[in-house]
Structure 1
C-alpha cells in the first residue's frame, strides 16, 4: 500500500496518515485543538506530539477554550510537571494564550472555522504532487493565516506551522497522487465548501 513517505512504518503514524491527515475539518473546536497541537510541534517531529496527544487532551481540558481561559498559574505549573506533554513553559502558555484569542474572536462574533477557511476561499486547495520534494513548507495562504492569527493574539502560529496545520486539516490536499489516500481525500475536498 503506497503512502506519503513522511509517515514511515510506525503504526501510529500510518494510522494518523490514513485516517486523519488531509481530511477536511470544519468543526471550530477541532480546528482549535489541532492548531494548538501543531504549535507544540515547533522544533520537534509530529510523531512526538502525536504520541503525547492523549496526555495533551487530558492536561488541557480537552482543548475547550472556555475552560482554558480560566487556567490559573497553579494549573500552568501542574501542566509543566506533567511528563506526558512537552514541558516547555512558552508552549504550555501558548495554549492558554490561544484559548484567550479564540474566546475573544467568538465574543466579537467571529466564527473560527470560516475565519480559517477564508484563507483558501472556503474550499480546499487540491494539489497534484508527484513527490514529497515538490511540497512547499509555506505558501502565501499560510503566511496570510499566520499574520492574521498573530494579529488576533495567537502564538506558535508561524507560516510553517500554519501550513502543516492546513495540510493536516484538509485546507490543502497534499497527499501525493500515488498515495492510497489521495482519491478519497480528493473526493472529500471536492465536496467541502464552507
Structure 2
C-alpha cells in the first residue's frame, strides 16, 4: 500500500503533512495488541492533552530516545532529578505535570501487569475486538463514548493520570479498538472489512 499523496481520499483531519499522512495510512485505526506499544501510545496520547496530535507525532522519536523505547521499568524508576533533566529537553513537551504523569503511569502499569495482561485488560472495553464504525463524515465522529468513559474511570482507579475520556477515545481510535476512518477514506475499505497492513513505526 503506497498511495501517492494526491490520488486517494483520506479522513478530513489528515493534513497534507507527509508525517501525518504516513501515520494515517499505516497506523491510525489498525488494531494493536502488543502491550509495550499500547503503553507507548497511551502515554503519547496523554502528552497530547491540549495540543495537536501532529505536535506529538513529530516529537515521538525523541520521546522514544529519552524513554529508551518507553521502557516501563526505567520510567518507573526515574528520580526527581531525572525528571528535572527531562524538563530541559527541547525535543519533548516540557510540561512538568505530564512528565511526572509519565513516571506515575509507568508505575501504575507495572502494578497492573502483576495482576493481569495489560493489553487484554485494555481491550476488554471493546470486548476484545475492534468496533467498526460507519461514519459518513468527520462531523459524525464522537469525542467521547461510553467505552472511553469506562476505560478512563478504570485507568484512574488503577492510578493513571492524563487519561480522561477524550484522551481514552483518541487512544482507542489510534490503536484500532475502534475504527473511525470515514466511509469515503481509502483506508475504510481495508480496515472496515478486516484486511489491513501494519508497520512498525
* Smaller-chain TM-score bracket: over 0.9
> How many pairs are equivalent?
189
Q: Within 5 Å, give how 1:94-173 maps onto structure 2.
A: 94-107=101-114, 109-173=115-179
Confirm whether residue 15 of structure 1 aligns to residue 28 of structure 2.
no
Give the corresponding residue for 1:5.
12
Secondary structure at the counterpart of residue 9 of structure 1:
coil
**SS of equivalent to 1:6:** coil
Deviation, 1:9, is: 0.7
Contact 1:142–1:162 (CA under 8 A) maintained in structure 2: yes
1:58 paired with 2:65, answer yes
Task: Please name the residue that 1:183 is paired with.
Answer: 189
Mapped contact 1:24–1:188 kept (Cα < 8 A): no
Aligned match of 1:32 = 39
Q: In structure 2, what is the Cα distance between the partners aligned to 1:79 and 1:184?
A: 40
C-alpha RMSD of matched pairs (Å): 1.2
Are the counterparts in 2 of residues 146 and 162 from structure 1 also a CA contact under 8 Å? yes
User: 1:80 maps to what in 2?
Assistant: 87
Alpha-carbon spacing, 1:182–1:63, altered in 2? closer, same or farther (3 Å): same
What is the distance in 2 between the residues matched to 1:89 and 1:124? 34
Structure in which a larger fraction of residues adopt helix: 1
2-side partners of 1:189 and 1:99: how far apart?
33
Cα distance change on mapping 1:185 and 1:62 into 2, 3 Å: same
Deviation sequence 1:54-101 (CA, Å, 0-9, x none): 011111221111111111112111111000000000001111100000
Query: Which portions of structure 1, spanning 4 or more consecutive aligned residues, are displaced by more than 4 angstroms?
Result: none
Please give the TM-score of this superposition, normalised by the length of structure 1: 0.95
TM-score for both structures, normalised by structure 2:
0.92
Looking at structure 2, the residues matched to 47 and 7 of structure 1 have their Cα atoms a distance apart, in angstroms, of: 9
